[in-house]
């Protein structure tokens, strides 16, 4: 046992550029990949991290100076750059919790399935980064790998349970039986949207209003492209901070480049993870298949609804305005503006496609997200530095809207209490499992909450 | 040579998986095709020179070229049906 711990310590101290490929290759072997395939997977993921690091420089070179001007000239306290989910995911996977997250969460999932605490088989391996994120920030704050793992497990357990609870609505929406959404961010929005839906039901003027979001969608079409979002935003911000023509154009192109290149780099990471994801998937599905199980998918499968797409695009200006007016916010929304639809993926099924409810709910969630993304910024930046990402001197802090995860925040607050906190985390997650026992669905849970 | 658009929410995760599956399907049937991987919002920009759209989610929008939902590539349930549907579009 000592040998294993020492070996693990040695590997994790090699620096992320070596540690990640080695750990991923080991995980690959665990899922029965051949040695060559495992090494290839590890190296591929490592390449993705190097690419990510290179592209992040665009933020510090071009967007960092803008935040300084916003602070000095306009008195806007926007000192943190939203680097977007690709950066957050890459960073989360690069933490010490992140490199073991895949086998660990699968283990948690299997324990939950065996003890009949969940019906969801979470095969959405990529989105394990949300759990790794929770674990990673806890590790940064508490300095303990084990508290980090506990936090990640708690987040995963809550995610599986909420996936079960919201499964029926999701299945109706998709027209696809036997699936659920245990994605680590999407599940944090489910309780908020459920509660808001209850409130809307009691408000006058909120009954069955239908708007043809398809028509709005047509007009907004091309604006949904990340490249265009980056370009337009760069130019607008350039003009706003008083750049000259050359600087404005430069900022526009740089922001467009960031929007296009960041996901490409993460794609390399994803490609490296495909064989492991396949191995993990067939391992899980062989053991847990049949009608009594739900297949856990990414919330991305919900994004095809025109209501989600339309409100998603409208949330771009909403996020920017909220960022300027909310006093507690320090985040300049940027990277995740290309992914705003993800924030309301669960709102459309819960609000049954109602445009106004989705828009209002989306705005509220965006405010919540900004608050927590701002809170996490210094911790994420410190985690990134600990993980070996190179920050230039005096660089702007980074965060991601998709890391504005209130469940991660609650778990972190408990984890700060160390041992007592760990006990409380176990008790609370256990309590939640007890409350939602026997696979109660969304409607029943809402009724109970309403009484 | 046919051109296939593969799209998912962000054009990163799920679509990478679908492209991987699609490539082995094409290879097994010795079909040569060009694959464009993108996100949902970018589909429209590619439809003019493409023949088929394969997405990870149900699309509520109609495009001038046929589209196929390939959730089965992720879940593994009904994958063969989706594959033969894609093949029939490519061979037509």
Cβ–Cβ contacts within 10 Å for residue A236, how many? 15
Q: Which residue has the higher pLDDT, A284 or A1?
A: A284
On whether any CB of chain B is under 8 Å from the CB of A108, the answer is no
- Contact A123/B9, CB-based, under 8 Å? no
Q: Which H or E run contains A399? A: strand A397-399
> What ipTM did this prediction achieve?
0.72
Question: Listing from the earlier edge strand, what are the strands of the sheet with B67-69?
Answer: B33-39, B2-8, B52-55, B67-69
Would the pLDDT of A40 be above 50?
yes
**A294: its two tokens:** 């739900």
Taking contacts as CB-CB distances below 8 angstroms, the residues of chain B near A270 are: 12-13, 16-17
| Residues 9 through 38 of chain B touching chain A, CB cutoff 8 Å | 9-14, 16-17, 20, 37
- Residues in Cβ contact with B44 at an 8 Å cutoff, skipping those fewer than 6 apart: A221, A222, B63
Nearest to A176 by CA among B70, B88, B29: B70
Would the pLDDT of A245 be above 90?
yes
On whether any CB of chain A is under 8 Å from the CB of B44, the answer is yes
- Separation between Cα atoms, residue A36 and residue A390, nearest integer Å: 30
- Separation between Cα atoms, residue B87 and residue A82, nearest integer Å: 42
Q: Which H or E run contains A81? A: strand A80-82
> Which of B6, B8, B53, B70 is flagged as catalytic?
B8
- Separation between Cα atoms, residue A238 and residue A7, nearest integer Å: 50
CA A393 to chain CA centroid, Å, is 28
| A304, closest residue in chain B (CA to CA) | B59
Identify the CATH number of the domain in which residue B36 sits.
3.40.50.2300
Nearest to B8 by CA among B49, B52, B48, B57: B57
User: 3-state DSSP call for residue B35?
Assistant: strand
Taking contacts as CB-CB distances below 8 angstroms, the residues of chain B near A222 are: 41, 44-45
The pLDDT of A269-281, averaged and rounded, is 84
Nearest to A259 by CA among B29, B39, B43: B39
Nearest to A14 by CA among A93, A87, A94: A94
- What is residue A4's DSSP assignment? H
Taking contacts as CB-CB distances below 8 angstroms, the residues of chain B near A299 are: 9
Mean pLDDT, chain A, rounded, equals 85
Q: Which domain holds residue A17?
A: 2-450
**A164: its two tokens:** 């079960």
pLDDT value at position A145? 92
- Contact A178/B12, CB-based, under 8 Å? no
Burial of A40 per CB tally in 10 Å (0-12, 13-18, 19+): middle
The beta-carbon neighbor of A270 closest among B16, B44, B76 is B16
| A290, closest residue in chain B (CA to CA) | B77
At A52-79, the pLDDT tens digits run: 888 888 887 888 888 888 878 887 888 8
Taking contacts as CB-CB distances below 8 angstroms, the residues of chain A near B41 are: 221-226, 309
Model confidence at A451, in pLDDT bands (50, 70, 90)? very low
- Of the listed ranges A36-45, A110-119, A317-326, B35-44, the least confidently predicted one is B35-44
- Of the listed ranges A5-9, A117-121, A174-178, B81-85, the least confidently predicted one is A5-9
| A335, closest residue in chain B (CA to CA) | B10
Distance from CA of B92 to the nearest CA of A (A): 26
> Backbone phi, then psi, for A80, in 5-degree steps?
-115, 135
CA angle A11-A14-A16, nearest 5°? Answer: 100
Cβ–Cβ contacts within 10 Å for residue A143, how many? 9
Q: Which residue has the higher pLDDT, B60 or A190?
A: A190
At B14-67, the pLDDT tens digits run: 888 899 889 999 999 999 999 999 887 788 888 889 999 998 877 777 788 999
Domain tally, chain A:
1
pLDDT value at position A22? 87
Distance from CA of A264 to the nearest CA of B (A): 7
- Residues in Cβ contact with A345 at an 8 Å cutoff, skipping those fewer than 6 apart: A181, A183, A186, A189, A299, A300, A302, A303, A308, B9
Q: Which domain holds residue B58?
A: 2-91
- Separation between Cα atoms, residue A441 and residue A444, nearest integer Å: 6
Distance from CA of A221 to the nearest CA of B (A): 7
Taking contacts as CB-CB distances below 8 angstroms, the residues of chain A near B74 are: 123, 297, 301
User: 3-state DSSP call for residue A360?
Assistant: helix
Distance from CA of B16 to the nearest CA of A (A): 7
Domain tally, chain B:
1
pLDDT value at position A132? 96
Calculate the alpha carbon distances from A266 to A214, A449, B10, B58 in Å.
31, 40, 11, 24
**A330: its two tokens:** 């320090």
- Separation between Cα atoms, residue A235 and residue A240, nearest integer Å: 8
In percent, the amount of chain A with pLDDT more than 90 equals 39
Would the pLDDT of A384 be above 80?
yes
- Contact A300/B45, CB-based, under 8 Å? no
Burial of A272 per CB tally in 10 Å (0-12, 13-18, 19+): buried
pLDDT value at position A209? 60
């Amino acid at each position: 046992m000592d040998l294993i711990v020492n070996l693990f310590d040695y590997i994790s101290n090699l620096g992320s550029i070596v540690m990640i490929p080695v750990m991923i290759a080991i995980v690959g072997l665990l899922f029965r990949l051949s040695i060559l395939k495992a090494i290839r997977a590890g190296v591929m993921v490592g390449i993705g991290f190097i690419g990510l690091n290179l592209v992040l420089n665009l933020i510090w070179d071009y967007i960092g100076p803008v935040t300084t001007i916003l602070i000095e000239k306009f008195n806007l306290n926007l000192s943190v750059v939203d680097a977007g989910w690709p950066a957050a995911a890459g960073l989360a996977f690069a933490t010490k919790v992140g490199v073991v997250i895949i086998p660990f969460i699968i283990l948690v999932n299997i324990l939950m399935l065996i003890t009949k605490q969940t019906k969801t088989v979470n095969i959405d391996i990529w989105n394990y980064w949300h759990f790794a994120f929770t674990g990673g920030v806890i590790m940064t704050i508490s300095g303990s790998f084990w508290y980090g793992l506990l936090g990640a497990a708690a987040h995963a357990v809550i995610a599986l349970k909420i996936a079960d609870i919201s499964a029926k609505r999701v299945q109706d929406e998709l027209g696809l039986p036997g699936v659920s959404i245990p994605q680590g961010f999407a599940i944090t929005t489910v309780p908020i949207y459920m509660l808001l839906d209850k409130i809307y039901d009691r408000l006058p003027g909120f009954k069955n209003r239908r708007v043809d979001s398809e028509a709005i969608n047509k007009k907004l079409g091309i604006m949904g492209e990340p490249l265009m979002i980056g370009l337009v935003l760069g130019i607008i911000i350039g003009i706003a901070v008083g750049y000259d023509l050359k600087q404005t154009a430069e900022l526009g192109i740089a922001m467009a480049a960031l929007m296009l290149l960041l996901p490409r780099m993460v794609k390399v990471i994803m490609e490296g993870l495909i064989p492991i994801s396949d191995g993990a998937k067939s391992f899980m599905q062989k053991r847990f298949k049949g009608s009594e199980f739900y297949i856990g998918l990414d919330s991305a499968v919900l994004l095809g609804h025109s209501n989600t797409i339309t409100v998603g695009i409208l949330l771009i200006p909403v996020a920017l305005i909220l960022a300027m007016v909310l006093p507690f916010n320090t985040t300049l929304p940027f990277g995740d503006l290309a992914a705003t639809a993800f924030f309301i993926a669960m709102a459309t099924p819960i609000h049954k496609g109602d445009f106004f409810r989705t828009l209002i709910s989306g705005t509220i969630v965006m405010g919540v997200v900004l608050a927590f993304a701002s809170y996490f910024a210094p911790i994420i930046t410190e985690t990134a530095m600990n993980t070996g990402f190179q920050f230039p001197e005096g660089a702007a802090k980074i965060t991601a809207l998709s890391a504005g995860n209130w469940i991660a925040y609650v778990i972190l607050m408990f984890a700060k209490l160390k041992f007592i906190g760990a006990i409380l985390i176990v008790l609370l997650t256990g309590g939640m499992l007890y409350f939602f026992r026997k696979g109660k669905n969304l409607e029943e849970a809402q009724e109970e909450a309403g009484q | 040579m046919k051109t296939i658009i593969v799209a998912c929410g962000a054009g990163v995760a799920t679509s990478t998986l679908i492209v991987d599956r699609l490539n082995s399907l094409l290879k097994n049937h010795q079909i040569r095709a060009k694959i464009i991987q993108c996100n949902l919002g970018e589909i429209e920009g590619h439809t003019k020179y493409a023949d088929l759209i394969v997405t990870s989610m149900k699309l509520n929008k109609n495009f001038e070229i046929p589209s196929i939902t390939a959730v089965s590539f992720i879940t593994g349930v009904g994958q063969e049906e989706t594959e033969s549907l894609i093949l029939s579009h490519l061979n037509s």
